[in-house]
Amino acid sequence: MAVGESLSLQLDAECAWLLMSGRVVLSSPELGSIEVHRSSLFDDKPVALHTSAGCRVQIECIEPAELTLYQTENSCKFSERLYSPEETTCEQRGKGSVGDTCWREVRTIFGLGDSFPESNLVLGEVITFPGRWSSYPPHHHPQPEIYHYRFSEPQGYGHAELGEDVVKVQQFDTVKILSPDDHAQCAAPGYGMYYSWVIRHLPDNRYLEPEFTEAHKWVMNPAAQYWKPKNS
């Protein structure tokens, strides 16, 4: 969005508006108008607006801005909620295990017990450090998921596992995970890899946590012994 641009939408779906960068004023019937800003996907925690179907959201751009919109079918009503950076759960996963090779920062915005039971979405972000893995050990879950990627440099890239398939992911790519296959990924050396992740709860089977592939769970033990070059 450009400075001075405004947008007003009323969508027939549950929605999550995630600010990627810039400064905007978000307005909704229950929340009123709130100014929010974000300078960096990698260094700043997220801010997101979560609404049920039929809620009118207005956005006024104060500084050049970008938002991503995630939506899913859901006729249930719940109150709008703005999730601030201070509310985000930020975990340093993989730190201290197998030489920090799968150390990443996982930011859960909403959906794991802190949102409305009527909601069908879980939303979060992951910062994968250059040359390291994330979503590791490989894991899976029956609920469908979407990853949307950005990199610290426009030419950055990484690789994503989808079961037995591996795909190259680059700036602005989006990957759909519609089957309960393992999914793990890695960033190329020199490039930080960001991805937003959104999961849809299933009826009578809400997402709580992933199931890690048994063969690789041993790497989660900080005391795990693994091969290293003898002269390192």
Each residue's pLDDT tens digit, 103-145: 999 999 999 876 689 999 999 999 999 999 999 999 999 999 9
On whether the CB atoms of residues 106 and 126 are closer than 8 A, the answer is: yes
| 55 Ramachandran zone, left/alpha/beta (phi>0; psi -120 to 50) | beta
Residue in this structure with the two tokens 């894991």, named with its chain if needed: 139
CA atoms 82, 206, 150, 220: torsion sign: positive
3-class secondary structure, 9: strand
Q: 206 is in which domain, residue-wise?
A: 89-221
User: From CA 109, how far away is CA 55, in angstroms rounded?
Assistant: 20
Please indicate, yes or no, if residue 102 is contained in any of the structural domains. yes
User: From CA 131, how far away is CA 154, in angstroms rounded?
Assistant: 16
- Residue range 209-231: average pLDDT? 93
User: From CA 128, how far away is CA 102, in angstroms rounded?
Assistant: 8
Q: Are residues 150 and 197 in the same domain?
A: yes
Q: Are residues 138 and 116 in the same domain?
A: yes
Q: Residue 68 has what DSSP assignment?
A: E
Contacts of 158 (CB under 8 A, 6+ apart): 128, 149, 151, 168, 169, 185, 186, 187, 188, 191, 193
* Least confident range of 23-32, 167-176, 209-218, 223-232: 223-232
pLDDT at residue 179, rounded to an integer: 86
User: From CA 165, how far away is CA 197, in angstroms rounded?
Assistant: 19
Average pLDDT, the chain: 95
pLDDT at residue 139, rounded to an integer: 95
Q: Are residues 71 and 96 in the same domain?
A: no
Boundary (domain end) residue, out of 58, 87, 116: 87
Please indicate, yes or no, if residue 231 is contained in any of the structural domains. no
Q: What is the CATH number of the domain that holds 37?
A: 2.60.120.10
pLDDT at residue 57, rounded to an integer: 97
**How confident is residue 232, by pLDDT bands cut at 50, 70 and 90?**
low
Is the confidence at residue 218, as pLDDT, over 80? Answer: yes
pLDDT tens-digit profile of 1-32? 999 999 999 999 999 999 999 999 999 999 99
pLDDT tens-digit profile of 159-189? 999 999 999 999 999 999 988 999 999 999 9
How many domains does the chain contain in total? 2
β-pair type (56-72, 14-28) = antiparallel
User: From CA 186, how far away is CA 230, in angstroms rounded?
Assistant: 25
3-class secondary structure, 86: helix
Please indicate, yes or no, if residue 227 is contained in any of the structural domains. no
